[in-house]
Amino acid sequence: MRAAVYRRTGDAADVLSIEEIETPAPGPGQVRVRVSLSGVNPTDWKTRSGLTGSPPSGLQVPHHDGAGVVDAVGAGVTDRSVGQRVWCYLAAAGNPYGTAAEYCVVPAERTVPLPDGASDELGACLGVPALTAAHCLGGRPGDLAEATVLVAGGAGAVGHFAIELAKHAGARVLATVSTEEKAALARAAGADLVFSYREPGAVERIRSAASRVDRIVEVALGANLDLDLAVSGYGTVIVVYASEASDPVVPTRRCMNANATLRYVLLYGVPAEEIAQAAAWTSAALAQGALSALPIHRFPLEEVAAAQDAVEAGALGKVVVVP
């Protein structure tokens, strides 16, 4: 099969190559997926560059997310069948066969059935962003009924699904963005109110719109902590899912005054049962038509380096590679 591979970390153009490698067979508890679209996330270029994690011990096919069709099942797999459409998540976590290839082999539990009405584009958008969003929202939609949720970076992939999942759960959703183009995307996702955090008076406008915020899904704690604490109150949970170039200083007294809880999320370390809970919520929302695809930017497999560079540069929407 044709696959993008790297054997050492570094710049995309230096370490990524397109090779013909042996098509892997699924082992016990695994499935093989014929990949139609491979989704690219920030974690993919960060791992490949060496910014996070360790160099691969051998051949590594990148990318965690994707959509495709089950092509073969390993021993002991009873809940997936050949010909079934699925979306994948965390495919490259502890596994050499990510989704940037014609086929990937993953544990069966890291695939989720893709309904007939959902496109491959939408399936490739899910994975890490949607599961991160669901986990940041608490993993249980019933807890969000009538809650007020603030999503920072409402036009990003995690922000997009945080808005849609929170709305699906009955929450009132506010979002912050930096440009009008991003504001349009946040509104399209269903945000009730969208604010520019760059304009003076953002805190006052959010406060006038909501007497309190129950949960904040945060992409840039250092940049947004002052705003977050200003709109927080007793019981507010601020959940941070992305790191920054330098660690912010956390003002302990202000956090105490706000009676806020500050949490951090990295999907790799979340217990499997909680990821399964987030996947179940995502799957239910998907089946009910509550989720939508981001704007899609397609790259052929031969341009996988450019695809990763586009994500690193902050492409608005979802970058996908077509195997």
The CATH number of the domain holding residue 255 is 3.40.50.720
Residue 243 has pLDDT above 90, yes or no: no
The whole-number average pLDDT for the span 269-275 is 95
The whole-number average pLDDT for the span 73-88 is 97
Host domain of residue 318: 2-126+291-322
Phi, psi of 87 (to 5 degrees): -115, 150
The answer to whether 259 and 233 have CB atoms below 8 angstroms apart is: yes
Please check whether residue 283 lies inside any domain of the structure.
Answer: no
Residue 238 has pLDDT above 80, yes or no: yes
Confidence at residue 139, expressed as pLDDT on a 0 to 100 scale: 83
Quote the percentage of the chain above a pLDDT of 70. 100
On whether both 37 and 112 belong to a single domain, the answer is yes
On whether both 152 and 223 belong to a single domain, the answer is yes
Query: What does pLDDT average to over the chain?
Result: 95
Using pLDDT thresholds of 50, 70 and 90, give the confidence band for residue 245: confident
The whole-number average pLDDT for the span 88-117 is 97
Q: Using one digit for the tens of pLDDT, what is the confidence trace for 33-63?
A: 999 999 999 999 999 999 987 899 999 999 9
Q: Using one digit for the tens of pLDDT, what is the confidence trace for 224-236?
A: 999 999 999 999 9
On whether both 39 and 60 belong to a single domain, the answer is yes
Confidence at residue 244, expressed as pLDDT on a 0 to 100 scale: 80
Residue 184 has pLDDT above 90, yes or no: yes
Which residue is it, tokens 């069966």?
Answer: 108
On whether both 262 and 166 belong to a single domain, the answer is yes
Please check whether residue 284 lies inside any domain of the structure.
Answer: no
Q: CA–CA separation, 174 vs 160, rounded Å?
A: 12
Please check whether residue 276 lies inside any domain of the structure.
Answer: no
Residue 97 has pLDDT above 80, yes or no: yes
Please check whether residue 275 lies inside any domain of the structure.
Answer: no
Residue 143 has pLDDT above 90, yes or no: no
On whether both 260 and 303 belong to a single domain, the answer is no
Q: How many domains does the chain have?
A: 2
Confidence at residue 235, expressed as pLDDT on a 0 to 100 scale: 92
Using pLDDT thresholds of 50, 70 and 90, give the confidence band for residue 29: very high
Phi, psi of 13 (to 5 degrees): -65, -25
On whether both 186 and 260 belong to a single domain, the answer is yes
On whether both 147 and 219 belong to a single domain, the answer is yes
Residue 208 has pLDDT above 90, yes or no: yes
Please check whether residue 304 lies inside any domain of the structure.
Answer: yes
